[in-house]
Amino acid sequence: MRPSHASVALALVATLSGGRVPPRAPSATPTVVRRVVELTLTAAPARLELRAGTPSDVFAYNGQVPGPTLELREGDSVVVHFRNQLPEPSTIHWHGLHLPFAHDGSPFHPVPPGGRHDYVFTIKPGAAGTYWYHPHPHHRTGHQVAKGLYGAIVVRAPDDPLPASLRERVLLLSDNRFTADGEIDFPAKGTPAARVDAENGREGDVLFVSGAVLPTFAIRSGEVQRWRVINASAARVYRLELEGHTLLRIGTDGGLFERPVEAREVLLGVGERAELLVRATGEPGTRALLRALPYDRYIPQTRPVDWNVPRTLAALQYGPEPPVTLASSVALPTVLRRVPALDTTRVTARRTMVLTQHLINGRSMDPRRVDVSARRGATEIWEVENLVGMDHPFHLHGFQFQVLSRNGVPEPFPAWKDVVNVPRHESVRFVVRYDDYAGKWMFHCHILDHEDHGMMGVLEVRP
Ligand code: C2O
Ligand code: CU
Ligand code: CU
């Protein structure tokens, strides 16, 4: 489905990251005014200093790693002119966004080297949240993301309940590994290192926050900041802790929760997002570290030696100014938005997805096969059972779902998700409604090495 440009009263070319242009008043004929956001993303080889002073050969969107942050609003019509200047096929997948099949950037629609594709989609009402984009070609996703192709997407709602005065940060978490001569270390197929990555998923010892190593964020004592955290790593799970602070978790993959939840730490599986409020309770002039605490997601025999060492991601530096009082700096709403539970009495099918190493229900990905077939509008429950000794983050394209229970324990409240970590030997149940677009949608483990090894299936939603 292409949005008809005739129905768009106004065409604006908005820019990346900020530069949002307010719509002009509509003309005399009453018509829905929609913003058109049009941009070009070119994927091409580049030579960049991912680490200061050490250049590496990378793949970059518009010459930068990570790619530019896309600032969108609910209702926007989005046109992305993708130019593939890589020496291999690629796509851009809009992780978590609800959009027509032909524009999902899945392995079904590869763009050849030198080719181009216009991704055209509309941001649905209610979609406000934090998303990301990355390539999704068959067998090569892990390689292309490791080379630098990933970026953040922020979708805003016109009725966002939080004060616009809050300082906002996007923390795009990723890790990478480098050879002695400074190049990105992505082991060649068939090597012992490639076999270890195929098992565990590729982790790197260098951690990046929005492309920076150990950045320092400024904060003023008493201030409240809004953080959008994205786990864009291939395999790493982040157990986040901000030294000396209690975090207020306000949202997840598909946007805000109904109510904020206090948390000492936030577990972010691969592909997952968290929206947080950071309340600056520290003293002027002090520092607090944002750390990733040890999290054991591995098969014991394949654990990296340093898996149990906490890692520092960033530092929060308090300015010298006297504190502003929390109450005067911001009044936080108790209800962020309504998140109604999907109606499970309408469930027409229950599916079981059994995860073993590199397989779902004993099968490896075959793009010619349909693994699950359903009708548009149907509501289904999926039970994802992890039979093996390591975690697998399970992701579904096309539709946001609501987790019902984890290992039999009911989820405390409904929230919109598109990826859920399924810990070793545990299971997760979720409910999903195929509320719109027909098409072929991937479901897969989001450990990129597992996905590239075929731990993926196809859901066909028929019109
Ligand atoms: Cu984030 Cu199928 O991907
Ligand atoms: Cu996706
Ligand atoms: Cu996996």
Residues 314 and 362 in one domain: no
CA of 59 relative to ligand 1 center, distance in Å: 18
Asked if pLDDT for residue 436 goes beyond 50, the answer is yes
Distances (CA, A) of 309 to 63, 266, 296, 312, 315: 34, 17, 11, 10, 17
Residues 325 and 183 in one domain: yes
Average pLDDT, the chain: 92
Residues 382 and 431 in one domain: yes
Domain boundary at 295, 329, 363, which? Answer: 329
Answer for the pair 229, 267: CB distance below 8 angstroms, yes or no: no
Angle at 184 between CA 423 and CA 175, to 5 degrees: 35
Q: Which of 16-25, 83-92, 129-138 is least confident?
A: 16-25
Answer for the pair 43, 60: CB distance below 8 angstroms, yes or no: yes
Q: Which atom, in ligand 1's list, is nearest to the CA of 132?
A: 1
Q: Which atom, in ligand 1's list, is nearest to the CA of 444?
A: 2
Q: How many domains does the chain have?
A: 3
Residues 115 and 188 in one domain: no
Could you check whether the bond before residue 66 is cis, i.e. omega within 30 degrees of 0?
yes
Distances (CA, A) of 297 to 243, 371, 388: 23, 27, 11
Domain boundary at 136, 156, 176, which? Answer: 156
Residue whose pair of structure tokens reads 């993959």 in the numeric block: 253
Q: How far apart are CA 275 and CA 104, in angstroms?
A: 24
| Per-residue pLDDT at 29 | 61
| Residues, CB-to-ion distance under 5 Å, ligand 3 | 392, 445, 447, 450
pLDDT band at 90 (very low <50, low <70, confident <90, very high): very high
Answer for the pair 107, 368: CB distance below 8 angstroms, yes or no: no
ipTM of the complex: 0.99
Residues 282 and 355 in one domain: no
CA of 395 relative to ligand 2 center, distance in Å: 7
Domain boundary at 278, 297, 329, which? Answer: 329
Residues 315 and 172 in one domain: yes
Residues 194 and 84 in one domain: no
User: Tokens for 35?
Assistant: 């913003």
Q: What is the CATH number of the domain that holds 182?
A: 2.60.40.420
Mean pLDDT of 18-32: 50
Q: Which atom, in ligand 1's list, is nearest to the CA of 442?
A: 2
Q: What is the dihedral of CA 199, 97, 226, 126, to 10 degrees?
A: -140
Range of the domain at 27: 5-156
Q: How far apart are CA 395 and CA 403, in angstroms?
A: 12
| Per-residue pLDDT at 7 | 31
Residues 413 and 318 in one domain: no
| Per-residue pLDDT at 8 | 32
CA of 393 relative to ligand 3 center, distance in Å: 6
Residues 238 and 301 in one domain: yes
User: Tokens for 306?
Assistant: 């340093």
Q: Which residues pair with 229 in a beta bridge?
A: 171, 274
Q: Which residues are annotated as a binding site for Cu cation?
A: 93, 98, 134
| Per-residue pLDDT at 75 | 96
Mean pLDDT of 51-58: 97
Mean pLDDT of 93-118: 98
CA of 233 relative to ligand 1 center, distance in Å: 12
Residue 335 lies in a domain: no
The answer to whether the predicted template modeling score (pTM) of the entire model surpasses 0.90 is yes
Mean pLDDT of 195-217: 97
Mean pLDDT of 434-443: 96
Answer for the pair 394, 420: CB distance below 8 angstroms, yes or no: yes
Q: Identify which ligand lies nearest to the alpha carbon of 455.
A: 3
Going by alpha carbons, the residue nearest to atom 3 of ligand 1 is 95
Residue 339 lies in a domain: no
| Per-residue pLDDT at 295 | 97
Residues 152 and 195 in one domain: no
Q: How far apart are CA 208 and CA 197, in angstroms?
A: 19
Q: Which of 209-213, 304-308, 401-405 is least confident?
A: 304-308
| Number of C-beta neighbours around residue 51 at 10 A | 15
Residues 146 and 45 in one domain: yes
The set of protein residues with a Cβ atom below 6 angstroms from ligand 1 is: 93, 95, 134, 136, 271, 395, 397, 442, 444, 446
CA of 106 relative to ligand 2 center, distance in Å: 8
Asked if pLDDT for residue 3 goes beyond 90, the answer is no
Residues 150 and 171 in one domain: no
